[in-house]
Amino acid sequence: MSEKEKERNSHIDYSRSDENKYLVQKDLKELYQEEFGEALEKYNAKQKRSDRKIEDYYKHIQS
């Protein structure tokens, strides 16, 4: 982290980062698959044109 970033986030005590609690810690791609996988399958099933089908929703929203 640069000095400029540290200044901007001076309210954060980075020495205590190891004490952070995570409610959910999952791979983002897996989470998208769990949350949107079924809807994506339904969407793709409705599409007649193959160029409208979405293979990977995570990659699709990144672009």
For the chain, domain boundaries = 21-63
For residue 58, the one-letter residue type is: Y
Helix ranges (DSSP H) in the chain: 3-8, 28-46, 57-62
> Mean pLDDT, the chain, as a whole number?
91
Q: What is the per-residue pLDDT for 56?
A: 92
**Is the alpha carbon torsion for 11, 17, 23, 27 positive or negative?**
positive
Instruction: List the Cα angle 33/39/43 in 5-degree steps.
Output: 120
Q: What is the per-residue pLDDT for 42?
A: 97
Tell me the backbone φ, ψ of residue 4, rounded to 5 degrees.
-65, -40
Residue 54 has pLDDT above 80, yes or no: yes
Residue 14 has pLDDT above 90, yes or no: no
The pLDDT confidence band at residue 35, using thresholds 50, 70 and 90, is very high
Q: What is the per-residue pLDDT for 22?
A: 87
pTM comes to 0.57
